[in-house]
Structure 1
Amino acid sequence: MSLLSWLRAPAPTLSDALKQRLARLPVPAPWRDCSLREQRWVVLDLETSGLNVNRDQVLSIGAVVIDDGAIDFAQQFERTLHRPAQKTTSSVLIHGLGPSALAAGCDPAEALLDLLEFIGDSPLLAFHAPFDQRMLARALKDSLGHRLQHPFLDVAELAPMLNPDTVLREAGLDDWITRFGLHVQERHHASADAQVTAELMLILLSQARRQQLDSPLQLEQQLSAWRRRMAHHPSL
């Protein structure tokens, strides 16, 4: 699908109840100058049918909350989406999502609206965030006609920025899990991956505070500057 046809795709038909819930959603907050501990963060992980952001689909969603400097186990989100037409491929099976699980999943519009209500006005964190951001944006447009406006921070960029002495070129989540000795019981499952990403983020938030970066706004600004340096000097 071309970008032009995507932009012109017809809006989905929604029930009045869904429209009312969409209308009640809070406006996402800009980067705040509060302390990192005061900020509520939502750590997101999506399992998808593949890596093509224009063609593949979101199959399941996992999210956890970091609040008051800790993972809040009372605030967790998990949904498998109803995708009965999804072909069973190796990319799908690695997530443990067989045909029966996808056939029994939640209506995508309901699940995605549940997610937006769970997120509220909080910023989002993800490992390799640009992929999750684009996949979520397309899913929201396709199922709800809704435009994603929440800011994202990429944990895959924060980790090397805050650990310049750690040489891990193009490191994946497993590399940073090993680097910090985190214990993982399960991988390639949305909720489990969101959980371990949140545990990694707690380490990074502690490092950020020790480096005099103690607000979401400061962290985002430092990351933007680091990204520009890496673009001009990739060997650093």
Structure 2
Amino acid sequence: MSLFSWLLPRKKPSLNPAQQQRLAQLTAPAGLNEHTLRAQRWVVVDLETSGLDLNRDQVLSIGAMVIEDGAIDLGQAFERTLLRTDNPLSPSVLLHGLGPSAIAAGCDPVDALLDFMAFVGDSPLLAFHAPFDQHMLGRALKDSLGYRLQHPFMDVAALAPMLCPQVNVREAGLDYWIKHFNLQVEDRHNASADALATAELALILFSRLRAQGIDSPHALQQRLNQWQRRKQVHSF
């Protein structure tokens, strides 16, 4: 592959009639409302990517868990490896446990992304370092489906320090919070396991929110926006 091939426009895969029908049937996002945190269905997502370049790297796999009725519903777990046939993948994918056999067993990106958005439905999304996942997922959906991602995305990496101001650690990662709350997490660093760890962390944070009288997704988003604005002001 040419060094500059990443700069060329990507060809949008043509969708077959069945895929076009599935795309048309996707549910529009409901947005954040005044349901209680417990009543809201949340989809906790984690992506494995070929790197950290927002404009060049690709989504390799998607893992997601559902929080509903105040608990993690393991029966609604989602996992897909995206088979990429258009561009060769870096050996770095081995860091994510995605060896040749996993890639060979992967799904067509169009079908995998359609599966995921059908799984999401109208629910808001949670992720650790959500801006990265939101951008990468949004770009993958646009490139593969011509679909614009408009679902609310909330960042657990911002919620944790907001609700734990006594923790004086700059840019604490998911591993730090797992240790801080003594979560028993195995098989880290693949999409499904990281989504499960993020979901467990989110439940702890939701409990703290309710103790502070914040018990709706809308109120949570308002509180988070206020906290982030204050943080930006104090950083100058």
Superposition TM-score, scaled by structure 1 size = 0.93
Task: Identify the residue that residue 148 of structure 1 maps to in structure 2.
Answer: 149
Deviation at 1:73, TM superposition (A): 1.0
Deviation at 1:11, TM superposition (A): 4.5
Deviation at 1:39, TM superposition (A): 0.2
Letter in 1 for 2:148: R
Cα deviations by residue, 1:95-143 (Å, 9 ceiling, x for unpaired): 0111232122100000000000000000000000000000000110111
- Structure 2 distance, partners of 1:139, 1:88, is 18
Task: Identify the residue that residue 184 of structure 1 maps to in structure 2.
Answer: 185
Task: Identify the residue that residue 35 of structure 1 maps to in structure 2.
Answer: 36
- Structure 1 distance, partners of 2:62, 2:76, is 14
Deviation at 1:65, TM superposition (A): 0.1
Equivalent residue runs for 1:18-167 within 5 Å: 18-84=19-85, 85-90=87-92, 92-167=93-168
- Structure 1 distance, partners of 2:165, 2:200, is 20
Q: Secondary structure at the match of 2:73?
A: strand
- Structure 2 distance, partners of 1:86, 1:196, is 30
Deviation at 1:186, TM superposition (A): 1.2
Cα deviations by residue, 1:28-63 (Å, 9 ceiling, x for unpaired): 011111110000000000000000010000001100
- Structure 2 distance, partners of 1:184, 1:11, is 38
Letter in 2 for 1:119: V
Are 2:236 and 1:228 aligned? no
Letter in 2 for 1:87: L
Q: What 5-or-longer segments of structure 2 have no aligned partner? A: none
Superposition TM-score, scaled by structure 2 size = 0.93
- Structure 1 distance, partners of 2:90, 2:100, is 7
Moved more, 226-235 or 210-219: 226-235
Q: Percent identity?
A: 64
Q: Secondary structure at the match of 2:113?
A: helix
- Structure 2 distance, partners of 1:69, 1:205, is 9
Deviation at 1:223, TM superposition (A): 0.4
Deviation at 1:24, TM superposition (A): 1.1
Q: What 5-or-longer segments of structure 1 have no aligned partner? A: none
- C-alpha RMSD over aligned residues: 1.7
